[in-house]
Structure 1
Amino acid sequence: MGSDNRLREQICLLAKSMFDRGLTGGSTGNISARTEDGGLLVSPPAPASDGWTRRGWR
């Protein structure tokens, strides 16, 4: 798995953890992370229909 895919997976896990602990409600807010090459990954505005997955990311 490439480093960007690992970072996407980590963002998904963080978002799920925050939701499970009641730290955020629904699909409010976004989570972002800087990639090794200086790019930026930003979570989608709402979870995918099958939960917090990497599907639908651009």
Structure 2
Amino acid sequence: GSGAAAVAVLAQRAGWVAPEVVVVSKGGTLQVRPQPDGVVLTGQASHVFRGEVYVP
């Protein structure tokens, strides 16, 4: 989602797409809306990774 959001924001700032973008990917559909203080992502959430980190 974060990579799709980054690409959507860059496309918005370049004027290539409308201010609100719907990104359709293998992981699902994500709506990206810019806000004055960031970006709002709206879409389904799903568990895609599990891992463990060992910190000595």
Q: Does 1:52 align with 2:45?
A: no
The alignment's TM-score, normalised by the length of structure 1, stands at 0.53
Root mean square deviation of aligned Cα:
2.3
Q: Which runs of 5+ in 2 are unaligned?
A: 45-56
Query: Where in structure 2 are the equivalents of 1:29-40 lying within 5 Å?
Result: 29-34=21-26, 40=27
Higher fraction of helix: 1
Identity rate, percent: 9
Runs of 4 or more, structure 1, over 4 Å off, are: none
Question: Higher relative CO (CA 8 A, sep ≥ 6), structure 1 or 2?
Answer: 1
The total of aligned residue pairs comes to 43
> Max radius of gyration: which structure?
2
Using the size of structure 2 for normalisation, the TM-score is 0.55
